[in-house]
């Protein structure tokens, strides 16, 4: 480790160019054709396959694996994409260890599942590399659908709606479409600008216009859109971030993990990004783990992730927790932040140990910190939204809100588990319900 890395403070350029490159390379190297055949050969092609039941988008997993095994990966990709148009990204970010691979009979019998996620990536990458778009639009229906938010739910709804012959306009506040896929996921999970390439490929269906830099509520309102469109889908995500609500929360060096991740994802030069020597991340979900691991990969000397309950209550999967530990992130559980200390800038953060019901034990600890990232949950922001339930837009099973002609899905809506794959399923299913409604129940 270079001597200058031992200097205190938040600074850039902690690593050499090769270290940045290596640290932010693909988390899982893609399978080559031979490896894919070997992996596919392990599948039993189960009848009533449990893996398929565990997939939120109901992909016919044994069918696509059989198609890979018979040398037709493009057909396998079409099987995947028919159910999940963002199958390429989901192959990279799905917590397969708690979904399809957890229930795979090979996992249950031998403790080693079929590599479903990596096979899905092999198939979708093979198709996308050929630049082909496997779906065609139905004849125009003359109906117009507005989609607010170009994240996974919005993109899935837009694609399915366009495929069914509707004219779609997406409104998104950011410069680039993609939502969390573009701004909110660790860089090592989607290398080589995959999120942007996948959106370009998805838009290849035609019939979808993307209006960038248009914020819902600020630049366009529900009422205005209701006059211009036959149906509206809200996939606005969760734009607000919970504060710590403790003394010193506003000190320099304390910021939101989502902003850190977004800056990192958009950085052209990782060596220009500043990172602390002693970094503390507060939270127990995927955002907390993504921030902690990337802080370590940027060269932070000590990274500690602190969660207020026990490990089993963390939203981050065991795989993610193990990944963090393997990268050198220390995980402290059952500790709740009580104060940020420092003169202007953070120098220490103080925690009190808690039991699993968050009851304080009276025992306190201080951690050295020159950078603190908050990752304790996000909230829905916006005015004039349809009826809410528990802080999210209340929707039916098919995504219909309590306002006629308005659907919602993804993180901003009730139900689901805030995974990319669930958002895709919700956007797709809302599009089907929109179609049935617009076509008079046909």
Per the CB < 8 A criterion, the answer to whether 33 and 41 are in contact is no
Torsion angle (degrees, nearest 10) of CA 186, 189, 191, 197: -100
The distance of closest approach from Cβ of residue 58 to ligand SF4 in the complex, given in angstroms and rounded to an integer, is 13
Count of beta carbons in the 10 Å neighbourhood of residue 59: 23
Interface with ligand SF4 in residues 113-172 (CB under 6 A): 114, 116
Q: Of these, 39, 43, 75, 286, which contacts ligand SF4 (CB under 6 A)?
A: 43
Question: Cβ contacts of residue 182 below 8 Å, gap of 6+?
Answer: 174, 176, 195, 196, 199, 265
Of the candidate spans 44-52, 161-169, 281-289, 336-344, the one that interacts with ligand SF4 by CB under 6 A turns out to be: 44-52
Output the six-digit token pair for 327: 């990268």
Whichever of 63 and 368 has its CB closer to ligand SF4, that residue is 63
Angstrom distance (rounded) from CA 296 to CA 239: 26
The distance of closest approach from Cβ of residue 22 to ligand SF4 in the complex, given in angstroms and rounded to an integer, is 32
Question: Could you say which DSSP state residue 15 is in?
Answer: S
Whichever of 120 and 181 has its CB closer to ligand SF4, that residue is 120
Output the six-digit token pair for 403: 């306002």
Per the CB < 8 A criterion, the answer to whether 31 and 73 are in contact is no
Per the CB < 8 A criterion, the answer to whether 71 and 36 are in contact is no
Interface with ligand SF4 in residues 61-80 (CB under 6 A): 61-62, 65
Question: Does 44 help bind ligand SF4 (rule: CB under 6 A)?
Answer: yes
Q: Of these, 10, 27, 46, 196, which contacts ligand SF4 (CB under 6 A)?
A: 46
Whichever of 103 and 220 has its CB closer to ligand SF4, that residue is 103
The distance of closest approach from Cβ of residue 389 to ligand SF4 in the complex, given in angstroms and rounded to an integer, is 35
Question: Does 173 help bind ligand SF4 (rule: CB under 6 A)?
Answer: no
Q: Of these, 49, 76, 331, 349, which contacts ligand SF4 (CB under 6 A)?
A: 49
Interface with ligand SF4 in residues 73-112 (CB under 6 A): 104-106
The distance of closest approach from Cβ of residue 321 to ligand SF4 in the complex, given in angstroms and rounded to an integer, is 24
**Total of chain residues touching ligand SF4, rule CB under 6 A:** 15
Q: Of these, 36, 39, 51, 195, which contacts ligand SF4 (CB under 6 A)?
A: 51
Tell me whether strands 254-256 and 371-374 are parallel, antiparallel or unpaired: parallel
Torsion angles phi and psi, residue 362, rounded to 5? 90, -10
Torsion angle (degrees, nearest 10) of CA 30, 33, 35, 40: 110
Tell me whether strands 378-379 and 371-374 are parallel, antiparallel or unpaired: unpaired
Question: Does 243 help bind ligand SF4 (rule: CB under 6 A)?
Answer: no
Angstrom distance (rounded) from CA 289 to CA 329: 9
Task: Report the interface residues with ligand SF4, using CB under 6 A.
Answer: 43-46, 49-51, 61-62, 65, 104-106, 114, 116
């Amino acid at each position: 480790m270079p001597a200058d890395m031992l200097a205190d403070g938040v600074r850039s350029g902690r690593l050499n160019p090769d270290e940045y490159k290596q640290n932010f390379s693909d988390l899982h190297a893609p399978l080559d054709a031979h490896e894919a055949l070997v992996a596919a050969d392990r599948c039993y092609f189960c009848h009533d396959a449990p893996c398929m039941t565990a997939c939120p988008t109901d992909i016919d997993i044994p069918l696509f694996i059989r198609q890979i095994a018979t040398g037709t990966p493009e057909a396998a990709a079409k099987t995947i994409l028919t159910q999940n148009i963002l199958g390429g990204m989901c192959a990279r970010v799905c917590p397969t260890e708690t979904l399809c691979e957890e229930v795979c009979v090979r996992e249950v019998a031998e403790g080693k599942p079929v590599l479903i996620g990596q096979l899905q990536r092999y198939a979708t990458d093979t198709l996308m590399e050929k630049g082909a778009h496997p779906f065609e639009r139905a004849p125009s229906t003359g109906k117009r659908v507005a989609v607010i938010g170009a994240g996974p739910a919005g993109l899935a709804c837009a694609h399915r709606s366009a495929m069914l012959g509707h004219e779609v306009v997406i409104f998104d506040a950011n410069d680039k479409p993609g939502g969390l896929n573009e701004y909110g996921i660790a860089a090592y999970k989607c290398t080589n600008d995959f999120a942007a390439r996948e959106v370009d490929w998805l838009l290849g269906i035609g019939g979808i216009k993307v209006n960038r830099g248009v914020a819902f509520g600020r630049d366009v309102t529900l009422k205005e859109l209701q006059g211009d469109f036959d149906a509206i889908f809200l996939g606005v995500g969760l734009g607000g971030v919970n504060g710590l609500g403790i003394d010193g929360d506003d000190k320099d060096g304390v910021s939101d993990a989502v902003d850190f991740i977004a800056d990192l994802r958009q950085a052209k030069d990782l060596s220009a990004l500043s990172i602390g020597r002693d970094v503390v991340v507060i939270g127990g979900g995927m955002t907390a783990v993504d921030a902690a691991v990337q802080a370590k990969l940027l060269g932070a000397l000590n990274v500690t992730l602190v969660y207020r309950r026990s490990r089993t209550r963390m939203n981050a999967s065991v795989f993610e927790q193990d990944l963090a530990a393997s990268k050198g992130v220390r995980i402290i559980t059952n500790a709740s932040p009580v104060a940020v200390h420092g003169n202007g800038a953070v120098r220490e953060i103080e925690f009190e140990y808690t039991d699993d019901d968050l009851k304080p034990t009276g025992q306190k600890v201080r951690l050295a910190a020159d950078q603190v990232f908050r990752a304790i949950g996000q909230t829905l922001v916006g005015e004039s939204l349809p009826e809410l339930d528990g802080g999210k837009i209340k929707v039916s099973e098919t995504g219909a809100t309590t306002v006629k002609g308005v659907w919602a899905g993804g993180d901003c809506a009730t139900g689901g588990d805030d995974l990319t794959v669930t958002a895709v399923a919700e956007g797709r299913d809302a599009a089907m319900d929109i179609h049935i409604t617009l076509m008079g129940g046909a």
